[in-house]
Amino acid sequence: MMPLHKGKKGGPTGWSPWLLVGSVAGAIVIAAPARAATDVRAVYELLNDWQLEDALAEAQALFAQAPDDPEVWIMAAHVQHQRGEHLSALSLLDAAARADETINAGYRSLVETSARLQANAESVMTPHFEIRYLNKDEIVAYYAGPILEAAYSNIGGDLDLLAAERGERILVEIYPDARGLAGATGLTVKEIETSGTIAVCKFHRLMITSPLATLNGYDWGDTLAHEFVHLLISKKSHDTIPIWLHEGIAKFYESRWKGKAGEALNPYSEKLLADAVRKNDFITYQQMHPSMALLPSQEAAALAFAEVFTTIEYLRKQFGNETIPELLVKSAERVPLEQALHDVFGMGLGTIETSWKRYLKKRPFREIAGAAPRKIRLIGNEDEAIKENPLETIDDPAVHKFARLGELLQLRGKHRAAVVEYEKAYARAGAAHATLLNRLARAYIETDRLDDAVHLVDKALAAHPNDGDAHLLAGRIRLAQNQPAKARAHFEAVRRQNPFNPEVHAALAKLYEQAGDKEAAAKATHFLELARKPRPSKDYELPSPPAGNAFVSLLSPNWGQVRINGATPIATPAWRVPVEAGELAVEILSGPSSGTLQTVMVKPGESTTMVLH
């Protein structure tokens, strides 16, 4: 595992000593001409194009020339919000509101939700990412680091864009529940629950819901990789391609962090696509616009994802891997899509769709009996997060009856009798129901039928390759068979689904120790202890504002982080922050001057500005 270090947020480099410009009662004393509104609009256009680094440079120059313009403060707030400096963004929005500027209440609410996370979070830093988390999500953040760095190198290399080479890390935020994700993205909790949305790439960052907020976790590693591909697409294309193409590229390259691109099509999706080919019943690209979420059913959405995935598969095989990044470049140059497709592939969308359908007729499909979708279920009680998935709803009344009877017998410790009933259900349903297979395999283990359990778990993983319960059973079996390498692979697969199961960390700690990897064993032991602790039950609040009788504004060319009188760190520009009059100690937290302290006297009723040169 690559080296990671944990710490509070670090800012960009290039800091210099502070210089106090001056202060007068109720006014900021930087004399500068106001910039034209067109300059502010240019920054917004760069943000809309996902060119955050260029937007930051423009915003810094503009702010330096017009630091007393509330319109510039609002613009700077948008830049800071996308950089993940939400506390700074909030101070700028509130300063503009006090100056009688109209602030979009919905947007301020988004910023405030993310500021609450920032104020209470810690971070894992990797070379190209900052992963922000609360308490128990340290487990996710730590193991996310290598996944994201692999995605950065592999997917970024394939798409010809290394997206964090200009001093700005890519921000990843892990929200503790659906309410947090909703507040940070503008979605409603109802929309999240209905659509199954668990992660979003928006505002130039990746935002995911903690696996602890779901029943038995979800594929959070693949999800992070998928959202990272969306970020690369948006940056490289200047966010100009249609949603079907966006999702097709993201789904196709999602698996590249751990192997080859094009390996993310699950058995259920292949089954749907094979049925569509046989029936010649497809969802058109036009029907996918403007959003996959607007399709009439989850089955339709799954089929649409399989279609766009195989569209990218076809284009790469037919025209070469380099054509996908070429298309994104054309799009960034504002070449209309139809023309861009002609330039890169020699044909327009209609011909591509026809050719792709001919390709599908010859493409082999893995049609595994019983393949089914795995649904993400949000929960309100973290005790449910590590429970075995409940026996799912089974439409066939006979299968339902046998399975429920087997479950009741198993709960009473009558494992041999449970096997009889489960086998009746399995004989009728085959591999369609992962929870049925897992319960029968567990009953086999309890009745010393290990070979039967191995055979059944293999079938379960073929039909449901990402089922955490099946991997957990497989890990236990391989441990019993003294096959440590295979056991480790299965327990690590469970960790990528549900990293809060103490059994997983306990098993991995022993396996790492046996393999001589003391560092990994120590981490697994630490996470075992963390997984056993409940998440603190509290609301995550903003820092309490001081009952200030004065204001201080902090400005620096590089917009890095500082701390005022030992309070929560905040990035500059922080504007008209209320403070108690008297001597202020401002600590620089990053760059060459990190750790240095500057003091300044602030008088009652005055607004003091500190400028970094």
Q: Per residue in 107-149, pLDDT tens?
A: 999 999 999 999 999 999 999 999 999 999 999 999 999 999 9
- Give pLDDT, residue 462: 87
Point out the domain boundary residue: 362, 397, 423: 362
Q: Looking at the domain assignment, is residue 553 inside a domain?
A: yes
Tell which of 334, 362, 390 closes a domain: 362
Higher pLDDT, 560 or 348: 348
What is the dihedral sign for C-alpha 168, 174, 180, 182?
Answer: positive
Position 567 in a domain: yes
The 10s digit of each residue's pLDDT in 401-421 is 998 999 999 999 999 999 999
Amino acid sitting at position 25:
A
Assigned domain for 367 exists: no
The answer as to whether 371 is a domain residue is no
Domain presence at residue 370: no
State the residue range of the domain holding 183: 135-362
pLDDT digits (tens, 9 = 90+) for 522-538: 999 999 999 999 988 76
Looking at the predicted structure, is the pLDDT value of residue 310 above 90? yes
pLDDT of amino acid 546? 61
- Number of domains observed in the structure of the chain: 3
| pLDDT score of 545 | 65
Tell me, yes or no, whether 579 lies in a domain.
yes
Q: Which of 6-10, 194-198, 305-309, 435-439 has the lowest mean pLDDT?
A: 6-10
Question: What CATH number is attached to the domain comprising 315?
Answer: 1.10.390
The string of pLDDT tens digits covering residues 52-111 is: 999 999 999 999 888 889 999 999 999 999 999 999 999 999 999 988 888 899 999 999
What pLDDT sits at residue 21?
Answer: 32
pLDDT at res. 38: 64
Domain-ending residue, one of 532, 555, 578: 532
* Mean pLDDT computed over every residue of the chain: 87
ω into 290 cis (within 30 of 0) = yes
The reply to whether 214 and 263 lie within a common domain is: yes
pLDDT of residue 208: 97
- Within a domain: 130: no
Q: Is the pLDDT of residue 2 over 60?
A: no
71, HSE (Cβ side, Cα atoms, 13 Å)? 13
Of the pLDDT bands very low, low, confident and very high (cuts 50, 70, 90), residue 373 is confident
Q: Of 293, 297, 242, whose CA–CA distance to 272 is shortest? A: 297
CA 28 – CA 411 distance, rounded (Å):
71
Instruction: Return the SS3 of 578.
Output: strand
Same domain, 386 and 440: yes
* Same-domain pairing of 236 and 160: yes
CB of 435 closer than 8 Å to CB of 389? yes
**Same domain flag for 450 and 487:** yes
342 and 258 fall within a common domain: yes
Task: Determine the average pLDDT of the residues in 152-158.
Answer: 98
Residue 144 and residue 111 share a domain = no
Domain co-membership, 549 together with 430: no
Task: Please tell me the predicted confidence (pLDDT) of residue 30.
Answer: 34
Enumerate the β-bridge partners of residue 354.
Answer: none
Domain for residue 450, yes or no?
A: yes
Give pTM, 2 decimals: 0.88
438 and 329 within one domain: no
Same domain, 162 and 299: yes
Mean per-residue pLDDT for 559-568? Answer: 87
- How long a stretch of residues is the chain? 613
109/230 same-domain check: no
We report the CATH number of the domain holding residue 469 as 1.25.40.10
Is there a single domain that holds both residue 576 and residue 553?
yes
User: Could you tell me if 110 and 146 lie in one domain?
Assistant: no
DSSP string, 188-231: -HHHHHHHT--EEEETTEEEEE-GGGBTT---HHHHHHHHHHHH
